[in-house]
Amino acid sequence: MKIVLDCDTGIDDAVAIAYALACPEAEILGIGSVLGNVESDLAAENTLKLLKVAGRTEVPVALGAHRPLVRPPGYAKFVHGEDGLGNTYMPPSGLSVSGEHAADQIIRLARQHPGEVTLVPVGRLTNLALALHKEPQLPSLVKGVVLMGGAATAPGNVGPVAEANIWGDPEAASVVFAAPWPITMVGLDVTMASLLLEKHLECWREADTPLTRWLLAVVDFYFEYYSASFGRRACAMHDSVAVGIALGLVMEQESHLLPVSVVTHDGPAMGQTVVDRRPLVTPGRYSAEGANTRVMMKIDGEAFIDHMVERIALYQVR
């Protein structure tokens, strides 16, 4: 499967990229960067650091949006560390970004492989919105979008009802959800049930590869942050779930094709993905006809994380 990732790398982004690299099902055509967990250029460098460790420096990395479409930038370094990699300050990659903007990379790859590319954004949707603006035909050029973001019925993680990737650039998210392409929304409803646990860290310790050693160092900060909020030793692997779903490697238990819109006005609901669930309960009165978004409601998160951790443990650094 041809995929283009778009990441605000970030600790769970780094795990997601490592997982994608470890999956023979995935042909990673390129990785874009976007601001979010950290600045866009730092996110790109973090991606390059990971590719270096994994021996996969052939994957092109394109620098993307430094700011949201209309709002001021902001970051989540309290979750991911000042360097975005858990304050590990890993050695510089020594590698360079491709020189193409991440939005242009998306457009180019979509044109090169019409109908074949799945976009997998696991950060804010700014680059996708920019790409749509530059190439309005983009929806007919790609296979679809599998995004990590939003929440249907789960509580938000940056506000009462908003998830960070949508809240961080709601105008961009609104443009992306409104475009005529098939979207799979992988939100907090399923990612908060996909937890990395102590036993998984043990599996990586046993594997003891350059990649698992790197990830163990990086994940520690994030693990501590989430463990404090969960009240148990665990952290959510948001972004890996989107990659797994894009690759068809997640056991899906409930999903619905439903209309989704995004709240872009300020207030307690800003950044909410409003999932219209009325067709589920009153199908005679409300229809989901024309809806473009498959909303993931339930997966086997435990089985998925076991599989994801194992794939990474088995990855042979090239």
Q: Interaction with Ca ion in 217-276: which residues (CB under 5 A)?
A: 239
DSSP state of 193: T
- Residue number, 183 or 207, with CB nearest to ligand RIB: 183
* Gap between the Cα atoms of 217 and 87, Å rounded: 9
* Gap between the Cα atoms of 80 and 273, Å rounded: 24
* Gap between the Cα atoms of 58 and 39, Å rounded: 23
Q: Which of 80, 101, 200, 238 is catalytic?
A: 238
Q: Interaction with Ca ion in 72-111: which residues (CB under 5 A)?
A: none
238 an active-site residue?
yes
Long-range residue pairs from 65-68, CB within 8 A, at least 24 positions apart, any chain = 65/34, 65/35, 65/40, 65/102, 65/103, 65/124, 65/126, 65/127, 65/130, 66/35, 66/39, 66/40, 66/41, 67/35, 67/126, 68/35, 68/124, 68/126, 68/168, 68/169, 68/171, 68/172
Tokens of 6: 């778009």
In degrees and rounded to multiples of 5, residue 146 shows phi and psi of -115, 105
37 binds ligand RIB (CB under 6 A): yes
Q: Which of 68, 123, 170, 301 binds Ca ion (CB under 5 A)?
A: 123
- Residue number, 55 or 159, with CB nearest to Ca ion: 159
Q: Are 270 and 162 in contact (CB under 8 A)?
A: yes
- Quick one: 245 exposed, middle or buried, by C-beta within 10 A (0-12, 13-18, 19+)? buried
Q: Find the shortest distance in angstroms from Cβ 11 to ligand RIB.
A: 7
Q: Find the shortest distance in angstroms from Cβ 187 to ligand RIB.
A: 9
- Residue number, 7 or 142, with CB nearest to ligand RIB: 7
State the binding partner of 100 from ligand RIB, Ca ion, none, CB within 5 to 8 A by kind.
none
State the binding partner of 170 from Ca ion, ligand RIB, none, CB within 5 to 8 A by kind.
none
Q: Which of 165, 272, 273, 293 binds ligand RIB (CB under 6 A)?
A: 165
Binding mask 88-127 for ligand RIB (x = CB under 6 A): ----------------------------------xx----
Q: Interaction with ligand RIB in 225-244: which residues (CB under 6 A)?
A: 238-239
Catalytically annotated residues: 238
Binding footprint of ligand RIB on the chain (CB under 6 A): 8, 10, 12-13, 36-37, 122-123, 148, 157, 163-165, 238-239
